[in-house]
């Protein structure tokens, strides 16, 4: 299986790198590509993993040549791919465009976000949630999506018992 990782370069999302460290036969793009080039890469890969900051409209295109690197214009290319969408409010994007895959809703990954959502979480709790999530997902990333989902819901769920940030995020992980 050929895997494309779209992870726009942003120091605040470097914690996501362990998700794709152990993937064989991968292409990682972090920026500097035109949207036409990204679309061409999507069409040539079987699994597409999209990580970073985003909104219900898509994955922000930090270091690409427009606001979103994944948005309504790339939906058709994603329809028949095995997809993982990890960005804030990816669930709204997935549901609006009737896409399938493992995806997140709002995902608190910074202390400021924890404050906005009235969560009791300091930098240590946020970092623990981020790191455990990324390493756990990375440890099963080469598995089928249903197995990934079940493992993350179970094992990341254990951290959610003691970490309010992980609890919030855990409740917003989906498989469609």
Q: What is the pLDDT of residues 137-167, one digit of tens each?
A: 999 999 999 999 999 999 999 999 999 999 9
Burial of 50 (0-12, 13-18, 19+ CB in 10 A): buried
Q: Would the pTM of this model clear 0.85, i.e. be above it? A: yes
pLDDT, tens only, 11-61: 999 999 999 999 999 999 999 999 999 999 999 999 999 999 999 999 999
Between the CA of residue 4 and those of 26, 28, 44, 96, what are the distances in Å? 6, 6, 9, 23
CA 29, CA 19: separation in Å to the nearest integer? 14
Average pLDDT of the chain is 96
Residue-wise pLDDT tens digits, 109-124? 999 999 999 998 799 9
């Amino acid at each position: 299986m050929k895997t494309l990782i779209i992870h726009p370069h942003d120091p605040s999302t470097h914690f996501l790198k362990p998700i794709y460290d152990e993937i064989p036969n991968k292409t990682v793009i972090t920026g500097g590509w035109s949207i036409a080039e990204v679309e061409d890469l999507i069409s040539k890969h079987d699994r597409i993993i999209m990580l970073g900051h985003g909104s219900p409209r898509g994955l922000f295109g930090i270091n690409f040549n427009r606001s979103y690197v994944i948005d309504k214009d790339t939906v058709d290319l994603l329809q028949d791919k095995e997809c993982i969408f990890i960005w804030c409010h990816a669930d709204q994007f997935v549901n609006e465009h009737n896409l399938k895959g493992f995806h997140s809703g709002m995902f608190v990954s910074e202390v400021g976000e924890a404050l906005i959502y009235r969560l009791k979480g300091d930098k240590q709790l946020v970092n623990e949630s981020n790191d455990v999530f990324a390493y756990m997902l990375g440890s099963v990333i080469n598995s089928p999506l249903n197995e990934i989902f079940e493992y993350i819901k179970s094992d990341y769920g254990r951290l959610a018992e003691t970490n309010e940030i992980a609890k919030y995020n855990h409740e917003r992980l989906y498989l469609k």
